[in-house]
Structure 1
């Protein structure tokens, strides 16, 4: 049976019906050749997590934009620190006094640990810390949790890259090397099994069943490496262009009045600023032409930098520090979306995985020690553990408008003074005591300031 002409034209020379898909992204062909897909996210994570972490650390250590991105995320996520606001009066003040002793290594305080843990999470994809028997915290290198240890357990569970799960899939322990890899002198390669409730594992979960964290630089590692090489190439191009060279064309092959070092038939000579040189008639002087950087190269590098910033999840001006094209509206619009991401990670990752376990352990330690303010803890632990973690307040582009909006929110009952004060990194009881002391001192000295001081409202007796 002979097909109609339009059918023959549709089939083409091959005579086969072309295979088409409704979704172009699921199609096959020349444009998809060489493109790697991801059949299993867990398998890809297990295979690539260590490599991504190593390359992320190397890039941050050697690339200015990568270092800026890591510091930008750390500063935004932690700032001056996430502070607890406990339901039980006085407990938060006692915890604040303990924060200076939180670090077992004595390098920083509890809020500094938040920052170093957040930075490790951004660069390496995850952060680990041990809760010691005395309640102090010791941060450890993610590589101490053995990535090579993957096996079944005798109890019917499994160990996946150093993380142990029971048969129900609950995380129950971590297998940690006693000494940090890379330490000098003799080190122990012994692996210690640490119960999960004594270990903090902080990472951003991005797919179900995730065991270890992935570096936040994973989407842009290759692009940043190429960008770094492109910048180096342009710098070398400028260095070469700065090597201005002159050539004396001598018809008779003489030196033309120049003196220098003879290298075969070529005389290598130089001139210093202010030199006047007279050459014989018939000689010609020519100079090399420096190759300038084209505007298209500069524009392309800016586009690449913006792509890197988008992949890392930070505004472009935060990554580069370039505010030449920014204005109030563009800055505010860019910061609003970024700060939504920051707040989501603060509460769902840092508070949930780091702050709350340490808070609960601190309360338990005080209760076991018999502290008077912890009486009744074992009867109702949830009442003592109930707390809200206040994240650092973000400064907007216009601080005056931000302050006015905050005052209006307090006046309208949309937020409390305690929330506003805690967001600024202060304790409201201490702040109010300082204000009262300052006012009493100013009044005793007969000082009057132009700013309005809070008035003390005296209640009328019934």
Structure 2
């Protein structure tokens, strides 16, 4: 069975076996079929998650972008992603090329790191010249979360900057996701991505221009897969070629919450304004002059007039200006009926909290972080919630490092060496491709206890200084470089840095054991 048939269910139906009527046996898996109480929406076994993603992607992207523009919570989620996954400085490169004896090649690693930091500056790394590489990471992460996919194209040549290597950000709508085709030799095109017989992407079929800018479908071009970086989360599918917006399970709930809050806000505004209506009493004589006006229906000359002409402007019954302690008298025959919408009331807040917890579960973020609601939070709940959330941020940092930064680095290194920006021998290219990426770290919720635990773990040799530094989003090389710089600065100023550090350590009292905090 070919890969195309796997996705679209085009395969021969096996011969049906005779059905045996069960005796008194009970099905072991109750979730295998719906019943009177639980109504599952079953999918055909010939369907696939990849086919669902391909058919619904444009609709999901459209709705996700609309909510991203108009929903506070979703906008805040993207800000959380950028702050916690990319951080202030972006994922930092750490070359780890080694010599033949196994030791780090420090000189070569420094050349590679310095060259990459130079390329990462604004105006050099992207074809448009508008962004730094940290900016590019933020754009890639936001687009992958909002649209489910982010595309970047690699440009190589002497005309593309001093390093001969630049990247261009592409919109996912430029990919012809509606293109599906079976090709020769087991190749197939699914959602605009051409793959070989073992599901490896070999080309991307894209529109030459962005449809949202120029309208229409336009000319389609085939771009080799080695020129494209395609960023998406592959974890929900077994053989994916495209992703879906990360908020796909929360979009409907978010849209309904938006409508609910808009309606409640409008009701609150109306209620605060205390609107009302004037009504004519049922026993009022329609021919009786009210407030000095003329008889209803005529102007005294047997001519029909509109109701607005019954009263002079100063005699019209009105109660528009209000003042404390003042009672107004209405004209004879008129009543005032207040309009006082009582909603929103006390049930709105718990309802929003319940809805928002579901949204946070779908977005895989802590409720206290997304909602900024710390009303009932305590030390234990904050530590548990932030710990789980930060673990997820770490997973996303590793994913971004592998699928985006790691996809760009080998081509950058080759062109940096060919262009002479990084003067290293091409014969050792594969050795120099060894790098690690360090993401930002986080301040501890309980820094004293964690610092003491780290010290004990390092003394026991069950934790390394590199691990401790990585938890703070730094490398040991950076820390030692900072200390060397501090020593040089202190020496220039005639200050004994070691004496200052020793005096500081003596001045800091040892951490005392704190009593447990009651929840």
Q: TM-score, normalised to structure 1's length?
A: 0.82
Gap change, CA 1:445 and 1:314, over 3 Å in 2: closer
Aligned partner of 2:52 in structure 1 is 44
Gap change, CA 1:143 and 1:283, over 3 Å in 2: closer
Aligned partner of 2:136 in structure 1 is 113
1:125-274 aligned at under 5 Å gives the runs 125-133=148-156, 134-184=164-214, 189-205=218-234, 206-244=236-274, 245=276, 247=278, 252=284, 263=308, 269-274=318-323
Distance of 2:497 and 2:420 partners within structure 1: 48
Please tell me the root mean square deviation across aligned C-alpha atoms, in Å: 3.6
Distance of 1:338 and 1:443 partners within structure 2: 46
Distance of 2:504 and 2:278 partners within structure 1: 79
Q: Tell me how far 1:438 sits from its aligned partner.
A: 2.7
Gap change, CA 1:57 and 1:22, over 3 Å in 2: same
2:396 to 330, 336, 345: 345
- Counterpart contact for 2:173–2:210, Cα < 8 Å: yes
Bigger CA drift: 37-46 or 445-454?
445-454
Bigger CA drift: 333-342 or 164-173?
164-173
Distance of 2:443 and 2:179 partners within structure 1: 45
1:441-460 aligned at under 5 Å gives the runs 441-443=492-494
Per-residue CA deviation, residues 380-432 of structure 1 (Å, 9 max, x unaligned), is 43321111111111233345655665666666662336972795468446523
Aligned partner of 2:120 in structure 1 is 99
1:325 to 376, 391, 406: 376
Distance of 1:319 and 1:258 partners within structure 2: 61
Distance of 2:71 and 2:62 partners within structure 1: 14
- Counterpart contact for 1:65–1:320, Cα < 8 Å: yes
Bigger CA drift: 439-448 or 195-204?
439-448
- Counterpart contact for 2:207–2:221, Cα < 8 Å: yes
| 2:98 pairs with 1:83 | no
SS at match of 2:153: strand
Q: Tell me how far 1:169 sits from its aligned partner.
A: 2.5
Where does structure 2 lack aligned partners over 5 or more consecutive residues? 1-21, 98-105, 157-163, 294-305, 506-519
Q: Tell me how far 1:317 sits from its aligned partner.
A: 1.7
Per-residue CA deviation, residues 278-316 of structure 1 (Å, 9 max, x unaligned), is 568998766444414232332122101111111111111
- Counterpart contact for 1:248–1:256, Cα < 8 Å: no
Aligned partner of 2:79 in structure 1 is 71
Distance of 1:111 and 1:359 partners within structure 2: 14
2:357 to 297, 300, 306: 306
Gap change, CA 1:279 and 1:149, over 3 Å in 2: closer
SS at match of 1:21: coil
Per-residue CA deviation, residues 124-167 of structure 1 (Å, 9 max, x unaligned), is 11111011113111111011111122212345411111111123
Per-residue CA deviation, residues 251-294 of structure 1 (Å, 9 max, x unaligned), is 656898799x9559896613313366356899876644441423
